[in-house]
Amino acid sequence: MKILSSMSGRVFAILLLGVVSSTALTWWLAFGERQKTIAQYRESHSVERAEQLLLALDALPADNREAFLETAPRLGLQLSKLPAATSDDEMHTPFAYALKERLSNKFKVQFLPMNPENCPAPLSPEARGVRGPCEALGLILHDGTTVRLTVLPPRSPVPPLSTDFVVSLALFLTSIGVLAFLISRMTMHPLKQLAQAAKDLGNDINHPALEEKGAVEIVQATHAFNSMQSRIRHHIQQRTHMLAAITHDLQTPLTRLRLRLEKVNDNELRDKLIDDLSAMQAMVKEGLDLARSMDSNEPLKPLDLDSLIDSVCADAVDAGQEVSFDGKPGITVMARPVALRRCLINLIDNAVKYGQYAKVSTEAVNDAGKRLIQICVRDGGHGIPPDQLNKVFEPFYRVETSRSRDTGGTGLGLTIAQNIAQQHGGSLQLVNLQEGGLEVRLTLMEKAA
């Protein structure tokens, strides 16, 4: 069942089942006690009415008794003349003995060997508890007349449940269900917050720490999560600073090396060495960009996305690249302008380098009620093999297998772009188009109005 697939649904089901079970058990015990009380009342009332009826019959002259037997109110009791009866003391109920004890001071009482015709024979104790007494006794009046007293159960063994009781029970169960639902929601809310924080942590290591409040166990779990986030952030910062320091320190000796290479007399050798040095400097620069993309201190601010993309595309056109932009004015996102510009430059450079041109467009999409902005960069290349679509985001991974920087690059461009996208709480996706070419989709959250 879908409701049991979530923790809140399971807590709700357990609470509801427990309360309903305890309520049903309580009601069953109360109903049994109610039956017992009603049965005792009926037996006592039947004994009293039987005694009154027999006293009235005994006081009448013999000639009037026949008419009395026909007109006397029945109310579950029947009197009839009986020939001489034999006594049978076996298989009779406590009610029969109670009736005999009550009447034996005034009349001679005999048990009859058969049950009344309207009663099943024999009645089990459970049936007697529900239906009430069902007995037949023979009594000898003072003048020697033998009569048969039949005690029949009422037509309605137990009074039915009242409408008010049914309505009250329904309201009670409904309120219990609502209460169980609210308790399950309240109990699971901190866990949902923790799960969402873990999801946000994967997109932004600098996401604000959770507030440590609530039950002791929740506070402990939240504190452990915040401590883990702090340690991960510290570890990433250390690694980033180390990478940034190495790449930064390499720039000075590389610059000195370039100056010295200019003094090499062999022109062919000098050109080759300078090309290699340029490749090394480019790798150092991209390594520094990678370090910055992993830990950016640039603040988020509202940004006109159309203006930023238009500026990046204009710079690319000025540099001789074939780039076009189909934008939608009025789109605002919360972004780090410098980092997002770096991300877009990498995507456009890749498209032009491997697909001759770049067509950039933006569109708004809805995902589970969230309004997202999707930036699409399409090229005219051959695409990427499906089994390598995710691998290209790994550092230094290149689809082009040669070691040439001119054809294969450094393998850091998409890694940097993905890091920047994740820092913005977004994502980067590569899609091979059916008509040919590759489309890179950068998804960002639109700034709330």
**Which residue, of 279, 295, 311, is where some domain finishes?**
295
Neighbours of 445 (CB within 10 A): 16
Q: Per the domain annotation, does 115 fall within a domain?
A: yes
**Which residue, of 266, 295, 324, is where some domain finishes?**
295
Q: Digits of tens for pLDDT over the chain (449 positions)?
A: 555 666 667 777 787 788 788 888 887 888 778 778 877 777 777 777 777 877 887 788 877 877 777 776 666 677 777 665 555 444 456 666 776 777 777 777 666 655 555 554 444 444 444 445 566 777 777 777 777 777 766 555 555 666 777 788 788 888 888 888 888 778 778 888 888 888 777 666 777 788 888 778 888 888 898 898 888 878 877 777 777 777 777 778 888 888 888 877 888 888 888 888 887 777 777 777 776 666 667 788 888 888 999 999 999 999 899 999 987 777 888 888 888 998 999 999 989 988 889 999 988 888 767 788 899 999 988 888 888 888 888 877 777 654 444 555 667 788 888 888 888 888 899 999 888 889 999 998 876 55
Same domain membership, residue 372 and residue 313: yes
DSSP 319-384: TT--EEEE--TT-EEEE-HHHHHHHHHHHHHHHHHHHS-EEEEEEEEEETTEEEEEEEEE-SS---
Query: For the domain that residue 240 is a member of, what is the CATH number?
Result: 1.10.287.130
Q: Per the domain annotation, does 328 fall within a domain?
A: yes
Same domain membership, residue 121 and residue 48: yes
Same domain membership, residue 89 and residue 43: yes
Same domain membership, residue 314 and residue 404: yes
Nearest to 209 by CA among 217, 218, 200, 350: 200
pTM, rounded to two decimals: 0.52
Query: For the domain that residue 57 is a member of, what is the CATH number?
Result: 3.30.450
Same domain membership, residue 291 and residue 349: no
Return the exposure string of 208-243: e unless at least 16 CB atoms fall within 10 Å of the residue's CB, then b. Answer: eebeeeeeeebeebbeebbeebeeebeeeeeebeeb
Nearest to 138 by CA among 89, 76, 73, 87: 87
Same domain membership, residue 269 and residue 324: no
Same domain membership, residue 314 and residue 424: yes
Cα 41 from Cα 37, distance rounded (Å): 6
Q: Per the domain annotation, does 103 fall within a domain?
A: yes
Same domain membership, residue 332 and residue 266: no
**Which residue, of 295, 327, 343, is where some domain finishes?**
295
Cα 199 from Cα 57, distance rounded (Å): 90
Number of domains in the chain: 3
Q: Per the domain annotation, does 317 fall within a domain?
A: yes
Full domain range(s) for residue 351: 298-445
Q: Per the domain annotation, does 369 fall within a domain?
A: yes
Q: Per the domain annotation, does 30 fall within a domain?
A: yes
Same domain membership, residue 262 and residue 310: no
The beta-strand segments (E) located in 186-308 are 301-304
Query: For the domain that residue 407 is a member of, what is the CATH number?
Result: 3.30.565.10
Q: Per the domain annotation, does 173 fall within a domain?
A: no
Same domain membership, residue 347 and residue 281: no
Strand order in the sheet with 427-432: 323-326, 358-367, 370-378, 438-445, 427-432
Determine how β-strand 146-151 pairs with β-strand 135-140: antiparallel
Same domain membership, residue 364 and residue 317: yes
Same domain membership, residue 325 and residue 289: no
Q: Per the domain annotation, does 18 fall within a domain?
A: yes
